[in-house]
Amino acid sequence: MIDHYQRIGGWIREKLNALDIFTFRQISNFTKEDIVTVTEAIEYFPGRIERDEWILQARDLIRMLVKNLTSLSVYATEKVESITTGLVLHINTRLII
């Protein structure tokens, strides 16, 4: 999932994975110590985390995903309710006849 993150390629992803960092949630919760550790691991790109706003991007992405999943959940619930209502009406109609 990390490789879909803006501006994080395979080499940096491997470095993050070696530090047991696999998710946007982990990046969104980086502390100053985490930033130092990751910066040391990706030694060729000092300041990259701050410059590219990894933490802000991760938080924004999580918010967007939660919003989309919530919308999808509401849509799915409405569809299930609609189908269920239709089935109940169909069954009741068949029973009455």
pLDDT in tens, 64-89: 888 888 877 766 777 777 677 666 66
User: pTM for this structure?
Assistant: 0.65
Rg (CA), the chain: 23
Residues written for the chain: 97
Token couple for 78: 């409405």
User: What are the sequence ranges of the domains in the chain?
Assistant: 2-96
The reported pLDDT for the residue numbered 39 is 95
Q: For 18-36, give the secondary structure using H, E and C.
A: HCCCCCHHHHHCCCHHHHH
Q: Mean pLDDT across the chain, nearest whole number?
A: 81
DSSP 74: H
By CB atoms closer than 10 A (0-12, 13-18, 19+), residue 54 is buried
Query: Hey, what are 68's tokens?
Result: 């989309």
pLDDT at 67: 85
